Amino acid sequence: MRFDLVVLGGGPGGVDCALEAAALGLSTALVERAELGGTCLNRGCIPTKLFLGATDCVHAMHAQARLRLLSGDIRVDLEALQKRKGQMLAGSRKAIEKQLADAGVALLRGQGTVRSAAELEVDTDQGPVAVEFGRLVVATGSRPTAFPGMEPDGDRVLDSDAALELTRAPASLLIVGGGTIGLELGRFFARLGAAITVVEAQDRLAPWEDAEVSATIAALCKREKWTLHLGGRVKSLRTEGGAALLELESGQTLGAELALVATGRGPNTAGIGLEAAGVRLGRGGFAEVDAFLLAAPTVAVIGDANGKAMLAHAAAHQGRYAARHAAGREQAPYACGPMPWCIYGAPETLRVGRMVSELLAQGLEPRVGTAQLAANPIAQSHASAQGFVKVVWLDGRVAGITAVGHGVAHLVTAATVIVRDGWTREDAQALVWAHPTLDEALHHALSAGPVPARS
């Protein structure tokens, strides 16, 4: 078998790459050893958002109850929710398979192993199949990782994959890692009644975010009775006596019914023969790529496997570029523009463009304009008016936008366009902003008199 382009991996990046390549007239095959949709669909973005969406009514009720506007009880049937998740994901996988077939993409089921710069072998149910390619696009994604001494054991110490399969909520959950995965799953299980404890080695939650955003997240977590251990390094984590037991380097011990290890993800690049095609794996196993996402003359590596931005939408964008480059339709180096980033749940966050700390570290003089959600009628109506939208200015143009609070992730596309186009205050004033909307918080942050930024 021979194809102009072969994609190894059927996640968001791989699927979008294959569809784009087929649309451009390249004979295309996609190799997938497990489920179509990758981590995003099956064990990441989509299941977590389904769980958060299904339980958002719990958060909404508690928010209104704090104002003594209503009372009541909501019981979540986790087994039923898991069943709905299974049906939804199966339907999505079937839709992807049909989309690939309709586009003329050959789907090869099995483990793919690279044999040379022009051939890979697919271990199918019918035996090994040799597949030649003109261009190979590696889109193998990533997997949960853990530091030594904190490895999930499948008993009381779980990774995010296992946590998403639970059919009974724990009474208490100990989360190691205060990043996106830990925060989103923590919010879900808190809504089911679990007592949440988070241990984060850095001195704040979501340490890559704006410091004020991190502080707001922490304040709202504490308001919901989460226990936070920040700046504490873990010595060991294990199952003992039917519970999860964690020991900090300080000597303090913490226990819970279950523990979730959410300390990051690593690329799926080992053991698939990439070296045979001249691909070099760097620190952490991420493939080293050039400005055109090429790791070797005939091999491109996209998405989590190259580590540039471990986000599903980043992988999809890179995949489409890789297809156009292989077809000769793209001559310029890969450029993604500002990369949007969100955390979901309550509160939500968004971040796009350059932040204050980055600009100050470069010796620049950013200014900031901020709008508090306390003044926004939509946030007020949901009894969730904590948080803000912050616009980062540089030389009179928008360099970055970040936000935290009710529903702010829904502002991310508008924020991305504004940062990409480098809006001025006049641009914001020339647009008619609908009222009442959450979008007005973005408008007010753009219109606020910017003040010098502080570190």
Catalytic residue ranges: 435
Contact 292, 279 (CB under 8 A): no
Amino acid at 37: G
Within 8 A by CB and 6+ apart from 361, the residues are none
Residue 280 burial (10 A CB sphere; 0-12, 13-18, 19+): exposed
Cα separation of 309 and 420, whole Å?
Answer: 17
Contact 62, 55 (CB under 8 A): no
CA dihedral 117, 313, 342, 388 (to 10 degrees): 130
Number of Cβ within a 10 Å radius of residue 445: 26
Task: Find the helix packing angle between 12-23 and 312-326, rounded to 10°.
Answer: 30
Cα separation of 434 and 2, whole Å?
Answer: 54
In this structure, what token pair is assigned to residue 399?
Answer: 């360099």
Cα separation of 161 and 279, whole Å?
Answer: 29
Cα separation of 363 and 350, whole Å?
Answer: 25
Q: Max Cα separation, the chain?
A: 68
Task: Find the helix packing angle between 45-54 and 180-191, rounded to 10°.
Answer: 30
What sign does the dihedral 243-248-249-252 (CA atoms) show? negative
Cα separation of 260 and 182, whole Å?
Answer: 8
